[in-house]
């Protein structure tokens, strides 16, 4: 008869009295590190598994998630939660299911802040087409190709120049009405009989501006010529806007303006 010796078997840190040892081979177990504490009369085993040790050593963020606050950016959250603002790509990579653009996060979103999240590259943004507002002023040759070389074409070109300059733009009908009153649509018109003419500054062009007014209100990139149709219209409209608050107020008025 084989005698068995009674002993304490250590299983995951618990002593089980009365366990019996034998020659049977036990299934492989995860190695454990065992230390003993207590006085000379008491022995208490304490055990830490290698799995627990690995988890303690794994680099993780301060907490599993972070709620986005007003004014937050991925850069700020990475600096606060992961210790390095440059790790914002890790945050982005770990939250691709809810963050489609790294520049767009919203208050109330719950973001995973685990430092072990994979890095991710931000999506490539499509190049934007420059706005027509930023286009350089068209030359006379370009205007001729784009606009009809007649009164209606000159008016449309003048309205475009006013719009690009940020001026109040009257309707084409209002400008045309004023032109017909002032010059009958003749860009070479000049008034040699009114008080301006007697003062030595006759009114000229489609919308009949005197030279001082033309110089004060013309746009510098347009022709420095009061007989140039577009330059004359632009100067006259800008003068009326500044003097009367709106060109429309004098567009249909009989007499001068």
pLDDT digits (tens, 9 = 90+) for 111-164: 888 754 555 555 555 555 544 444 455 555 444 457 889 999 999 999 999 999
Q: Which two tokens stand for residue 237?
A: 């409209």
Residue 76's pLDDT band (cuts 50, 70, 90): confident
Q: At residue 186, does pLDDT exceed 90? A: yes
**Nearest-angstrom CA–CA distance, 132 and 101:** 27
Question: Are 223 and 161 members of one domain?
Answer: yes
Flag whether 226 is in a domain.
Answer: yes
Flag whether 29 is in a domain.
Answer: no
Q: At residue 253, does pLDDT exceed 90? A: no
Question: Are 153 and 245 members of one domain?
Answer: yes
DSSP symbol at 186: -
SS3 136: coil
Question: Are 161 and 230 members of one domain?
Answer: yes
**Nearest-angstrom CA–CA distance, 21 and 1:** 15
Residue span of the structural domain in which 178 resides:
138-249
Flag whether 213 is in a domain.
Answer: yes
- Are 232 and 206 in contact by the 8 Å Cβ rule? The answer is yes
Flag whether 54 is in a domain.
Answer: no
Total domains in the fold of the chain: 2
Flag whether 120 is in a domain.
Answer: no
Query: Span 195-215, mean pLDDT?
Result: 94
Question: Are 103 and 156 members of one domain?
Answer: no
Flag whether 35 is in a domain.
Answer: no
Question: Are 166 and 224 members of one domain?
Answer: yes
| Entry pTM | 0.45
pLDDT (0 to 100) of residue 72: 86
In 3D space, the residue among 140, 151, 106 whose CA is nearest the CA of residue 222 turns out to be: 140
Question: Are 107 and 195 members of one domain?
Answer: no
**Nearest-angstrom CA–CA distance, 30 and 236:** 92
Question: Are 147 and 245 members of one domain?
Answer: yes
Question: Are 85 and 176 members of one domain?
Answer: no
Task: Report the DSSP pairing between strands 110-112 and 65-67.
Answer: antiparallel
- Packing angle of the helix pair 229-244, 172-182 (nearest 10 deg): 100
Question: Are 168 and 231 members of one domain?
Answer: yes
């Amino acid at each position: 008869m084989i005698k068995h010796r009674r002993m304490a078997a250590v299983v995951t840190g618990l002593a089980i009295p009365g366990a019996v040892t034998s020659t049977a081979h036990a299934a492989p177990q995860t190695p454990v590190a065992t230390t003993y504490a207590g006085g000379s009369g008491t022995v208490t085993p304490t055990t830490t598994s290698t799995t627990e040790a690995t988890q303690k050593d794994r680099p993780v963020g301060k907490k599993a998630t972070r709620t986005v606050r007003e004014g937050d950016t991925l850069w700020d959250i990475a600096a606060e939660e992961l210790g390095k603002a440059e790790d914002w790509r890790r945050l982005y990579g770990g939250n691709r299911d809810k963050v489609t653009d790294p520049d767009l996060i919203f208050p109330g979103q719950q973001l995973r802040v685990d430092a072990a999240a994979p890095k991710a590259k931000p999506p490539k943004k499509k190049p934007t087409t420059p706005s027509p507002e930023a286009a350089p002023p068209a030359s006379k040759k370009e205007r001729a190709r784009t606009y009809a070389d007649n009164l209606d074409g000159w008016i449309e070109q003048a309205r475009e120049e006013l719009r690009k300059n940020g001026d109040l733009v009257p309707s084409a009908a209002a400008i045309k009405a004023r032109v017909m009153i002032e010059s009958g649509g003749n860009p070479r018109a000049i008034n040699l009989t009114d008080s301006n003419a007697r003062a030595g500054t006759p009114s000229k062009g489609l919308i009949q501006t005197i030279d001082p007014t033309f110089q004060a209100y013309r746009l510098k990139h347009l022709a420095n010529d009061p007989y140039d149709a577009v330059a004359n219209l632009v100067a006259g409209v800008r003068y009326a806007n500044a003097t009367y608050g709106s060109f429309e107020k004098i567009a249909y008025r009989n007499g001068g303006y």
